[in-house]
Amino acid sequence: MKVAVADVGTNSSHLLIAEAHAGANQQGDFRVLDALKDRTKLGDCLDAAGNMTPEGENRLASALTRFRELAAAAGVNEVRVYATSALREAPNGAEVAARIQARTGVYPAVISGEREGELTYLGVAHSVELGPDNVLLDLGGGSLEFARGGPDQAADILSLPLGSIRMTRAHLPTETRGSGNRAAVKAVQDAVRHALAPHAARFRIHSGTRVILSSGTAEAAAAVLSGREGSINGVGFSLADLAGLLERVRRMSPAARAKLPGLDKRADTIVAGLAVLHAALELLGAETVTVSEGALREGMLIEELSRFQSFSSGLSARQRSVLATAERFGANLGHSQQVAALSRALMDGLIGAGVPFPEEARSLLTAAAALHETGQIVAQSSHHKHSAYLIRHAELRGFGPHDIERIAQVARYHRKSLPKPSHADFMALPAVDRALVSRLSAILRVADGLDRSHAGQTQIHSLRRTALTGSGAGWTVQISGATPLDLAGARDKADLWTREFGGLEFKLTPTETA
């Protein structure tokens, strides 16, 4: 399986393309095929209100188009993209993301600072050796994430608006920006201490705690301090070393800094970045640190591959043949797996509420969900019909002709027209099968809508019967992680569900809003 992931930051955007090793059965068992960095500098494209400007939107669209083209050349049909601080904090971030999707076919899903920290910790855990207690500081252009955890995952995460670009703009006046005068450095460090102090106890360094840094600023510091060229993964330095480097670059002009290896593209923000790290580390009581080159995108990659490995290992032999067929036809396996998981969660909720389904329904629905977009290998237009044709002729192992026809028709109705009497293939089914196809298609449509962004973030927590306002009896599904595009997609595709089961209302978990 090949995967392409990208993260969109305040300063730059990064693409990573990788492939799971043959027979891989562990997280992180992959081979990097290609990588690309684009200095989008979205932090320079915010207006006075913090909105992303048309220039920023154009830069991002250009970068994601290049990412998509490079991924396609490597045989990956879709790039999973997560956007962080710049888009997360922009009041028009959701609108920009939707327009980018329309322009490029790639949706930059905006993630929270906590989610960013969780994934970064995962990337770090597969790049450097962690111990029983670890504290990670990940410095971006807009935010600084803290994460504390064990060898595999974070247990506590905090995100603060202390990124290097943000702090440069806030505390280094335009006429002295980059010159790093002592008062400006002190202002940066005072701001860090003020913001972090209420949370410091959570991330205090103890005896045996390992402190990890991940970010371009940390990598640049390690490169200068070690004198190394190339990889600096696992390189360590002391807080005293960092203080000395901060004082050294503070005294330099931007032109002089740009001549230091690793600082050529950070000459204007490195003073603020080093000041942020030094103040935070000093307040937490760190003495030495280790730098990790693994970060957010590596965490995204590992999560994507491990999800697939977990999903495929739980399938029956014939369901694994379905997955192999989906891969053969170039389907987006991440989306297929997510829609299958959401479909089964919705069916489980219906069954739990007393809605009857035949024994084979779950297997048919899983297969249809996995194969619903295979028709895109023929054409995007009418791909639901192409999917049905391919399923009928794919020789799925373990399924008889009767099962295959029902799978094909469920996939056919995942979008566009609902089943109706003028459809000859549908009417050729026995009445009991027509009823089943309609019900399974209703579930599949909603599940597909809940991953309209292809971000793979939506989770279903419950489905229950309710009395919906103004529409009589119906259903309420409690979800989390859905992007605005996912919510709109699910609401648009709830038409067949309403016909088959009654009205459907979507409720976000209490910590989220629609």
CATH H-level superfamily of 2-111? ATPase, nucleotide binding domain (3.30.420.40)
Angle value at C-alpha 325, between 320 and 331, nearest 5 degrees:
110
Contact 258, 243 (CB under 8 A): no
Cα 102 to chain centroid, rounded? 18
Please report the pLDDT score of residue 19 as a whole number.
87
The alpha helices in 74-200, defined as continuous H runs, are 85-89, 93-104, 113-125, 164-171, 182-196
| Residue whose pair of structure tokens reads 């990208």 in the numeric block | 6
Distance CA 97, CA 95 (A): 5
pLDDT value of residue 355: 95
With H, G, I as helix, E, B as strand and everything else as coil, classify residue 81: strand
- C-alpha 394/C-alpha 468 separation (Å) is 42
Q: Amino acid identity, residue 15?
A: L
Ordered by start, the domain boundaries in the chain are 2-111, 128-293, 314-508
Q: Are 2-111 and 314-508 in the same CATH fold?
A: no
Is 3.40.50.150 the CATH classification of the domain at 128-293?
A: no
Q: What is the Cβ-side half-sphere exposure of residue 472, based on CA atoms within 13 angstroms?
A: 4
Comparing CA positions, the residue from 155, 165, 166 lying closest to residue 202 is: 155
Phi and psi at residue 480, in whole multiples of 5°? -145, 160
Q: Residue 43 to residues 12, 27, 57, 258: CA-CA distances in angstroms?
A: 9, 33, 11, 20
> What is the largest distance, in Å, between two alpha-carbon atoms of the chain?
82
- C-alpha neighbours within 13 Å on the C-beta side of residue 67: 33
- How far apart CA 408 and CA 391 sit, in angstroms, is 6
Joined tokens for residue 225: 């301090």
Helix axis angle, 361-371 to 383-393, nearest 10°: 120
Q: What is the pLDDT of residue 395?
A: 81
Contact call for residues 272 and 171 (beta carbons, < 8 A): yes
Tens digits of residue pLDDT in 349-395:
999 999 999 999 999 999 999 999 998 888 878 899 989 989 998 88
pLDDT tens for each residue of 203-219: 999 999 999 999 999 99
Residue 108 DSSP SS3: strand
| Spatial separation of the C-alpha atoms in residues 137 and 158, rounded to whole Å | 10
Residues pairing with 5 in the sheet = 16, 80
End-to-end CA distance of the chain: 34
pLDDT at 334: 85
From 391, 360, 367, 363, select the one nearest 377 (Cα to Cα).
391
124 CB-near residues (< 8 Å, 6+ apart): 130, 136, 212, 214, 292, 294, 295, 298, 299
Helix (H, G, I), strand (E, B) or coil at 439: helix
Distance CA 152, CA 174 (A): 43
Look at strands 459-468 and 236-238 and give their pairing. Answer: unpaired
> For the chain, what's the residue count?
514
Tokens 């209302």 correspond to 505
Please identify every stretch of the chain with a pLDDT value under 70, giving residue numbers as ranges: 21-29, 173-180, 314, 468-473, 510-514
Determine if residue 255 is left, alpha or beta; phi over 0 gives left, psi from -120 to 50 gives alpha, anything else beta: alpha
314-508: which CATH architecture? Orthogonal Bundle (1.10)
Within a 13 Å sphere around the CA of 191, how many CA atoms are in the beta-carbon half? 24
